[in-house]
Structure 1
Amino acid sequence: MICVLTRRADFLAANRGLRVARPGFVLLTRPNDGAGIRYGITVTKKIGNAVVRNRMKRRIRALLRAALPEGGLPDHDHVLIGREGGVERAFAAMAEELGIALERAAAGKGDPPRRGPRGPRGGKRR
């Protein structure tokens, strides 16, 4: 059974897992100790206004519902973070990229982190 992540702690735990970046989204995966396949979606305000963010979330939700039953990692949490170009990308291209990202995650081939640790206060330095 496929469930939806709702707790912030689950999203933060997934952020410490494997990261696979694609042009339209970033896939985070992490084992969840036998809770089955779970997914979560995040789209930040940098992407656009509420209409654009909701459209992006609907597209990602449709991608995940189609791909996770066959390609999802068993007993893992999957979090997709929407990227800037994801709204304009073709749906078929994003579906193909999600399949590739799930294969890379299953093989344990993640991308290195983009940036180093944050400063002492956790935010930007002034």
Structure 2
Amino acid sequence: MRATRASRVARGCAAAAVFAFAVLVVLLGFACTIEMESFPGLRENLAPLVVYLLAFAALLAAGGLVLAGRRSYARWAAVVVLGALMALRMWTLAPMLHCWSYDSVGRNDDGSYDCVNRGDMLP
């Protein structure tokens, strides 16, 4: 009985660590593009990187679900929090995703985005 309890505690701690790392990855996605969203101007296009970070966070969340076990209510709470963070990130990131293949994104005063390749701007 003691080994079973210890293994459940270890799996629960590992799942909590995986969920915490997934939240940090999503928050890194926010930090990567906060400058692009804050004020007008030409910025480096980091939107594809953020999409990859969100995919990695989704994989981490799936791993946390597996580690947490079938009867854990905390895992569903962690998944809901992660899902809400990822949905908010995609909602704010969506307007600039049409610039996927460009190296820069220009934010206009009205909040729209223009796609720019800086190499095309050279004389």
- Normalised-by-shorter TM-score class: under 0.3
> Which one has the bigger strand percentage?
1
TM-score after normalising by structure 1: 0.27
Larger radius of gyration between Structure 1 and Structure 2: 2
> Which one has the bigger helix percentage?
2
